[in-house]
Amino acid sequence: MNPTNRANALILGISIFLGLTALGYLLGRAAIDFKEYERSVSVKGLSEREFPADVMIWPISFTESSNDLGTLYNSIEVSKKSIEAFLVSKGIAAPEISYSLPSVTDKAAQEFNNGQKAEFRYVAIQTVTVYSSNVSIVRKAMNELSELGKTGIAFKGEDFQNQTEYLFTDLNKIKPEMIQETTTKAREVALKFAEDSNSKLGKIKQASQGQFTIEPRDKNNPHIKKIRVVSTVEYYLSD
């Protein structure tokens, strides 16, 4: 090999060595930076609001009894009309009132009656349901229902199948504001964590929004709804 070729080979070898050294350094630096970039903190943000229910479903059940089916159904109709008239007089619109089919029990046809003859052969349960967005008006009528009971209508207490319900239907209107609040609160917590750990808060790595829950504020105020949502946000940290 002549001196020129030998010099060229030497220069090429030095260049390759320097290149590999630089590449190794850059890869090492990138690995360190990547490891630092992977540092993160996961925090939660909560948003809670209280709103009055905007829809009320009020089932009113009453019983009638007789030894004659015709008389029984006539009594049911009379009581239904009395209840409707009462509700309308209290400000509830007629279209907001509906009726279910009466449930009639024939005591004589029951297999187990302990051999005792019932005073009335037929007993019926009828339910009148109010579905209204005028919650305050319906609640006032509910508190005054005893007026109608004095006329002789035997109202039946609430049971598992017939319970007054309070609904909140405007959730979509308040969702954006509540989600923004959870994100803001989560960031405040993350900033505090970063400050305490001598770190800097970076971008969001990932985030997830929990489900909205709507529950009564307490058992004594079912018409006031507590809406709650929690968001989980993970942020990158750096020195």
What pLDDT, on the 0 to 100 scale, is given for residue 72?
Answer: 94
Give the contacts of 238 (CB within 8 A, at least 6 positions apart). Answer: 36, 37, 39, 199, 200, 202
CA dihedral 21, 26, 27, 30 (to 10 degrees): 160
Query: How far out from the chain centre does Cα 30 lie?
Result: 46
CATH of 55-167, one of 1.10.1760, 3.30.70, 3.60.21, 1.10.10: 3.30.70
Please report, for the chain, the start and end positions of each structural domain, with discontinuous segments joined by +: 1-38, 39-52+168-239, 55-167
The neighbour count for residue 36, using CB atoms within 10 Å, is 13
The size of the chain, in residues, is: 239
What pLDDT, on the 0 to 100 scale, is given for residue 94?
Answer: 95
Q: Among 199, 231, 208, which residue's Cα sits nearest to residue 41?
A: 199
First to last CA, the chain: 55
Structural domain 39-52+168-239, CATH architecture: 2-Layer Sandwich (3.30)
Environment class of 141 (CB within 10 Å of its CB; exposed 0-12, middle 13-18, buried 19+)? buried
What pLDDT, on the 0 to 100 scale, is given for residue 78?
Answer: 95
What pLDDT, on the 0 to 100 scale, is given for residue 192?
Answer: 92
Give the contacts of 158 (CB within 8 A, at least 6 positions apart). Answer: 59, 164
Question: Distance (Å, rounded) from C-alpha 215 to C-alpha 225?
Answer: 6
The neighbour count for residue 149, using CB atoms within 10 Å, is 11
Q: What's the average pLDDT block by block, 10 residues per block, for the chain (239 residues)?
A: 55 55 46 55 94 96 94 95 96 96 85 68 94 96 91 84 92 94 94 90 90 94 96 90
Q: Among 189, 169, 171, 173, which residue's Cα sits nearest to residue 46?
A: 189
